[in-house]
Amino acid sequence: MKYSTTTITLAESRTDCLIANLKQCQQVARQHGAARFFETSTSDFDDKIGQTHLVNLGPSSPIKKMLVIGGLGASVTREDFSKAVKATATGLKSVKAKSALWALTGTRVKAEDVYWKASASLSALSNVLYSFNQHRQPGKNGDISLNTVALHADARTRGSVARAVRHGQGAKAGLDWARDLANQPPNVCNPSYLLKEARKLGRNPKVTVTSLDEKKMGELGMGAFMAVTRGSENPGRMIIVRYRGARNSSDAPVVLVGKGITFDTGGINLKSSGGMQDMKYDMCGAANVLGVTRAAVDARLAINLVTIVAAAENMPSGRATRPGDIVETLSGKTVEILNTDAEGRLVLCDALAYAARFKPKVLIDVATLTGAAIMALGAHASAVYANDDTLANALLEAGEASGDRGWRMPLWDEYQVGLKSQFADVSNIGKGGAGSIVAACFLGRFTEGQKWAHLDVAGTAFPGGPQNGATGRPLGMLFRFLIDQAEA
């Protein structure tokens, strides 16, 4: 999908599909001498938020079709605008059109600027216009025909719209890639596959991609990571992507860490079989930090970024870790592994300790870490943990602005108590409920001295069930956060 900006007047433009509010469509129809036809074909249209209506002006018209966005009067709230553009994007999916022109000028959004409006529209499009058909026979999958969308701007708004297009184009590339990685079946997407994919980022001269293999990780002392990967025939990898986009290459980087369990069987604490296939999505944290890295690189954000992916497969086998095993982590702390299904925090604790060597400005990890996060917040908000209020607020605000929301959770000392181990420095499971919080507290023991945030995205990264694939979340929130950091 190619996004662009145009300032040509709507009346003069040529497109397969004009997208605009009722009034604008009416006006353009009149200018094309199709006022009567437009009136009759929209006479039953309910001009409300969430409604859209397709008007076919015919193949010989310079504007072949019009998709009318319902409910967009002169001024609307941002919630209504978001709903309207989501409905519009969904409507557009089934319209046969190669090009579209989206008019942004007809509606003001209260307390938001043109950049926001353009970004919200592009983000709705990007989210909806995605499909994953790599493993079907080609042809009959209702592939999306649309390939260019121009946003209409005027002389005054052109700069803001162009900026939204640059960001939106990067976000789309990152989002599609992240969702593809996550939707791949687990016999394709293993740690080596993630490395092979991540290496593609290295085509940009500002990016370098390196990795640690199991031998190296063993030597470094990543005993927790090794405990997870040892049961699998597919070797684990720590993948490190460095993007040097800031004007000053020595600026402290934002460091992102992603949980990349390419399949989580639970290990010796084997999961029950119902729904186990969804555990291919246990690498969504990795996919989405890689995706946001791609977005930042493509949008040429002026920021230094280090992205670390802890990629492993959690399998039961004769070599697998046993409940009760004690391992020494990179940090020097020992962990008693009382449940091999609490593996995400094990690969992450070594990745987070490793991250310290990049001297992060802030350190943020993303993980489908606990079923408890789904219990707490469902699919509507990512659980946000942070040991720094400024960082927490910046992430929450980025979530609001992008429509990819988070909700802050506590890291109180009281929750740490359950992690006490009888035989080691810390246990990998807690007691007394609050599973998402306790898991976050575990990670917090490996990020002392860092400005650190943890996003538990078990509920938001994939909704579960047979119909829905990966969402790419929290890519929207993180990308907004990175843009804000780059432009601060």
Q: Footprint of Zn ion on this chain (CB under 5 A)? A: 261, 264, 282, 344
* Residue 444: how many other CB atoms lie within 10 Å: 21
> By Cβ distance, which residue is nearest to Zn ion?
264
Q: Nearest approach, Cβ of 229 to Zn ion (angstroms)?
A: 13
Residue of 23, 158, 271, 361 marked catalytic: 271
- Residues 325 to 354: which contact Mn ion by CB under 5 A? 341, 343
Q: Nearest approach, Cβ of 23 to Zn ion (angstroms)?
A: 51
Kindly tell me which residue out of 257, 372, 441, 482 binds ligand BES, with binding defined by CB under 6 A. 372
176 binds ligand BES, rule: CB under 6 A: no
Stretch in the footprint of Mn ion (CB under 5 A) among 38-46, 86-94, 263-271, 409-417: 263-271
Size of the chain in residues: 488
264 binds Mn ion, rule: CB under 5 A: yes
Question: Token digits for 407?
Answer: 């909700």
Kindly tell me which residue out of 103, 217, 311, 429 binds ligand BES, with binding defined by CB under 6 A. 429
- Residue 393, Cα to own-chain centre: how many angstroms? 19
Q: Which does 456 bind (CB under 5 to 8 A by kind): ligand BES, Mn ion, Zn ion, none?
A: none
3 state SS of 88? helix
344 binds ligand BES, rule: CB under 6 A: yes
Q: Which does 80 bind (CB under 5 to 8 A by kind): Zn ion, Mn ion, ligand BES, none?
A: none
* Residue 34: how many other CB atoms lie within 10 Å: 19
For residues 304 and 249, is the Cβ–Cβ distance under 8 A?
yes
Kindly tell me which residue out of 180, 197, 214, 343 binds ligand BES, with binding defined by CB under 6 A. 343
258, 272, 263: which is closest to 185 by C-alpha? 263
Q: Is 271 a known active-site residue?
A: yes
The strands making up 207-212's β-sheet, listed across from edge to edge, are 207-212, 237-244, 304-314, 254-264, 362-367, 452-456, 382-386, 406-408
Number of residues that bind Mn ion (CB under 5 A): 3
- Residue 304, Cα to own-chain centre: how many angstroms? 19
Residues 6+ apart with CB under 8 A from 146: 1, 92, 95, 97, 98, 99, 100, 129
458 binds ligand BES, rule: CB under 6 A: yes
Q: Nearest approach, Cβ of 438 to ligand BES (angstroms)?
A: 8
Residues 6+ apart with CB under 8 A from 414: none
Nearer to ligand BES, 165 or 457 (CB): 457
For residues 309 and 398, is the Cβ–Cβ distance under 8 A?
no
For residues 100 and 124, is the Cβ–Cβ distance under 8 A?
no
Q: Which does 142 bind (CB under 5 to 8 A by kind): Zn ion, ligand BES, Mn ion, none?
A: none
Q: Nearest approach, Cβ of 341 to ligand BES (angstroms)?
A: 4
Type of residue at 408: R
Q: Nearest approach, Cβ of 36 to ligand BES (angstroms)?
A: 55
Residue of 345, 405, 445, 480 marked catalytic: 345
Q: Which does 371 bind (CB under 5 to 8 A by kind): Zn ion, Mn ion, ligand BES, none?
A: ligand BES
Residues 6+ apart with CB under 8 A from 443: 345, 348, 349, 352, 365, 454
Q: Nearest approach, Cβ of 291 to Mn ion (angstroms)?
A: 22
Q: Which conformational region is residue 8 in: left (phi greater than 0), alpha (psi within -120 to 50 degrees), or beta? A: beta
Q: Is 86 a known active-site residue?
A: no
Stretch in the footprint of ligand BES (CB under 6 A) among 205-213, 338-346, 377-385, 411-419: 338-346
In sequence order, what DSSP letters do the residues of 97-155 get, joined into one string? -SEEEEE-TT-EETT--HHHHHHHHHHHHHHHS----TTS-SS-S------EEEEE--T
Taking residues 282 to 321 in sequence order and writing x for each that binds ligand BES by CB under 6 A, - otherwise, the string is x---------------------------------------
Determine the Cα–Cα distance for residues 72 and 338; give it in Å rounded to an integer.
56
Determine the Cα–Cα distance for residues 485 and 301; give it in Å rounded to an integer.
9
Pairing type for strands 15-21 and 63-69 reads parallel
435 binds ligand BES, rule: CB under 6 A: yes
Stretch in the footprint of ligand BES (CB under 6 A) among 53-61, 171-179, 341-349, 377-385: 341-349
Catalytic residue numbers, as ranges = 271, 345
Residues that bind ligand BES (CB under 6 A): 264, 282, 339, 341-344, 368, 370-372, 429, 435, 458
Residues that bind Mn ion (CB under 5 A): 264, 341, 343
